[in-house]
C-alpha cells in the first residue's frame, strides 16, 4: 500500500477522533509543531528509521521531545513507530490539516512578494480570495521572493495565480506570438 494512502487513513482516523473529542484545533496546533520538528531535524529521522535502535528507545525519545503534547498526538507517533511508518508523519499531518481546514471552510495559501505585505494588503487579499474559493477564510503565508519584480504570486495547493509584472509581460508576449501566427 502506498505511503500516501496510509497517511490519508491515519489522517482520517485522527480527524474522526478529534471531532469526537472536540480537539481538532489542539491537534492541528500540536501536529504543526510535530511536522516542523520532523522537517527541521534530519538526525531525528535517521534515528527513528534506524533498524538497530529498539522501538522503546524511539518511543522514549518522541515522548521526551513532545512531552507537552496531547496523549493522542503521542499515541499516534508511537503507533507510527510500532508499525514502522514514522516516515509518513509529515504527510499525515498535511492531510489531517487539510481535512480540518476543509471542514471549517479555510484555505491555506502562500503569497510570494518582493517585500513583506502590510496587514491591510494581506487582509484585502484574504477577503478577495476567500470569495473566489468560496471559503470562509484564506490564511496566507507571505514569502519573500526577489525574482518578483512587482505584484504578487499566490499558490493555493497546485494552483498558481500569477499577478506579477513578469507574469503579465509573459502573457503579453504569448498573445503577440499567437497573433502573429
The β-bridge partners of 111 are 142, 154
Higher local confidence (pLDDT), 15 or 129: 15
CB-CB contact of 80 with 90 (8 Å):
no
Q: Is the dihedral of CA 113, 115, 121, 123 positive or negative?
A: positive
- Domain span(s) for CATH 3.40.30 in the chain: 105-179
CATH of region 105-179: 3.40.30
Q: For domain 3-101, give the fold.
A: Peroxidase; domain 1 (1.10.520)
For 14-56, how does the pLDDT look when each residue is reduced to its tens digit (9 = 90+)? Answer: 999 999 999 999 999 999 999 999 888 888 888 988 889 999 9
- 169 pLDDT tier (thresholds 50, 70, 90): confident
For 100-126, how does the pLDDT look when each residue is reduced to its tens digit (9 = 90+)? Answer: 998 988 888 899 999 998 989 888 888
State the Cα–Cα distance between residues 70 and 92, nearest whole angstrom.
Answer: 17
The pLDDT value recorded for residue 1 is 59
Amino acid at each position: 500500500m502506498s505511503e500516501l494512502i496510509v497517511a490519508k487513513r491515519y489522517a482520517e482516523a485522527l480527524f474522526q477522533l478529534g471531532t469526537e473529542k472536540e480537539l481538532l484545533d489542539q491537534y492541528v496546533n500540536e501536529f504543526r509543531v510535530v511536522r516542523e520538528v520532523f522537517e527541521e531535524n534530519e538526525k531525528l529521522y535517521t534515528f527513528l528509521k534506524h533498524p538497530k535502535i529498539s522501538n522503546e528507545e524511539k518511543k522514549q525519545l518522541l515522548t521526551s521531545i513532545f512531552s507537552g503534547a496531547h496523549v493522542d498526538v503521542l499515541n499516534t507517533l508511537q503507533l507510527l513507530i510500532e508499525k514502522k511508518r514514522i516516515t509518513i508523519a509529515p504527510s499525515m499531518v498535511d492531510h489531517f490539516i487539510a481535512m480540518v481546514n476543509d471542514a471549517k471552510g479555510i484555505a491555506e495559501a502562500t503569497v510570494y512578494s518582493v517585500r513583506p505585505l502590510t496587514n491591510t494588503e494581506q487582509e484585502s487579499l484574504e477577503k478577495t480570495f476567500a470569495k473566489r474559493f468560496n471559503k470562509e477564510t484564506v490564511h496566507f503565508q507571505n514569502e519573500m521572493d526577489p525574482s518578483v519584480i512587482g505584484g504578487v504570486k499566490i499558490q493555493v495547493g497546485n494552483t498558481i495565480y500569477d499577478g506579477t509584472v513578469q507574469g503579465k509581460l509573459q502573457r503579453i508576449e504569448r498573445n503577440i506570438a499567437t497573433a502573429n501566427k
